[in-house]
Amino acid sequence: MIPLRDDIPSNTFPIVNYILIAANLAVFAFELSLGRSLDQYIFTHAAIPVQVVSEGFTAGQFVKMTATMFFHGGWLHLLSNMLYLWIFGDNVEDRMGHFRFLVFYLLTGYLATFAHIFSFPESTIPLVGASGAIAGVLGAYLVLFPQARVLTLVFIFIFIQVIYIPALVFLGIWFVLQLLSGTAGVGQAGQSVAFWAHIGGFVAGMLLVKLFATEKANIRY
């Protein structure tokens, strides 16, 4: 399933959401400029579970965990993440206000990273991608807009359909798929896709959204 748009209009200009998307695109452009030295750069500047566990939550590891949220492993990884942030982030920012949304986004991103590190503490694979923070946004969206509808591109064997799916169903299916994929990797040394970061970010978003969201969508911060 590929989301195309939702049917919830935003009452405020989602400046933070757009800045986050622009920042991710800019960092990816920088990654492309590194050429063959990209892998070494990622290993030096991204969060690696075994290093975080051995060094503890130092200022250096905090910087790496922040950088991790803006690195991506390829065009598909980047574009899929930005598509989800584009569709769901504006409405969540609308309900939280700009500053609160930024804090929420980063906080759920850190918690998602910790969820992955807790699941694979001995992994030597760098953690890259905005997926954990975006999963937090998805969790918040589910709580705030369960009755929203998501226009979705659905592939059924050789047939392609474009249909509206309730957000509760769309995001519920997304979470179940992450959970199934994550539990399938339990006991391994690591995973190439950080499913437990997705799971942790989503759950964190659902639990924390009420602390950040306002009752009205037109309040600015």
For 111-145, give one letter per residue: b (16+ CB within 10 A) or e.
Answer: bbbbbbbebbeebebbbbbbbbbbbbbbbbbbbbb
For 144-168, write each residue's pLDDT tens digit.
999 999 999 998 877 888 999 999 9
Which 8-state DSSP code applies to residue 139?
H
Q: Tell me the mean pLDDT in the region 185-195.
A: 66
Q: Token match 């500053």: residue?
A: 99
Percent of the chain with pLDDT over 70: 94
The tokens of 158 are what? 């050789």
For the entire predicted model, the pTM comes to 0.91
Q: Are 58 and 106 in contact (CB under 8 A)?
A: no
Q: Which CATH superfamily is domain 2-212 in?
A: Rhomboid-like (1.20.1540.10)
Query: Where are the chain's structural domains?
Result: 2-212
